[in-house]
Amino acid sequence: MASGVHEYTLPGGWVVIAGKSDADNDSVSLDLAHSNDYWFHVRGMPGSHVVLRVPTGAEPGKRTLEGAAAIAAYHSKARNGGITPVSCTRVKYVTKRKGAKAGTVTIRKETVLNVRPGLPA
C-alpha cells in the first residue's frame, strides 16, 4: 500500500483505505479504487477520501458501510464531534473535473450515513 494511505480491516475481512493528504486522496479515489467499491467523505468539512474495497460478487451490509463511514469521520475535522454525516457512493460515481485542485472530486448518487467517528478495534 502507498505510504500516504491508511489501511484498516473491518469485521468480516473488509478492507478500507484512507488518504492522508490531498494528493493521497486523489490516488485513493482515482487510482487505487475500483468502480464497484464504496467511497466515503465527511460532509461539509475537510477530511480523507475513504474507500471500502468490495470483492467481486460480494456486497457489504449496513454495519460494514457504517464502519467505513466512521473511519471517514475519524479522518476529518469532525473527529472529536458526535454523530457526523458522511457521504457514501460507489466509486463509479466519483469524478474529478479537469483542472480541479488535488483532493477535489464531484460525486453523484450519494447516500448519507450518520455515524460516530471511530476506528475498528
**What residues are paired with 19 via a beta bridge?**
5
18 in any annotated domain: yes
Q: How far apart are CA 41 and CA 56, in angstroms?
A: 23
Q: How many domains does the chain have?
A: 1
**Please, which pLDDT band fits residue 25 given cuts at 50, 70 and 90?**
confident
51 in any annotated domain: yes
pTM of the entire structure?
0.92
**Please, which pLDDT band fits residue 73 given cuts at 50, 70 and 90?**
very high
Work out the average pLDDT over 96-107. 81
What value does the mean pLDDT of the chain take? Answer: 90
40 in any annotated domain: yes
Q: Report the pLDDT value the prediction gives residue 106, as an integer from 0 to 100.
A: 82
Per the structure block, which three cell numbers stand in for 117?
A: 467517528
**Please, which pLDDT band fits residue 81 given cuts at 50, 70 and 90?**
confident
| 63-102: b (≥16 Cβ within 10 Å) or e | ebbbbbbbbbbbbbebeeeeebebbbbbbeebeeeeeeee
121 in any annotated domain: no
120 in any annotated domain: no
Residue 2 has pLDDT above 60, yes or no: no
Beta-sheet strands, E only, within the chain: 5-10, 14-19, 38-42, 50-52, 84-90, 94-95, 106-107, 111-115
Residue 3 has pLDDT above 80, yes or no: no
Containing domain of residue 90, as a range?
5-115
Query: pLDDT (tens digit, 9 = 90+) per residue, 42-59?
Result: 998 889 999 999 998 899
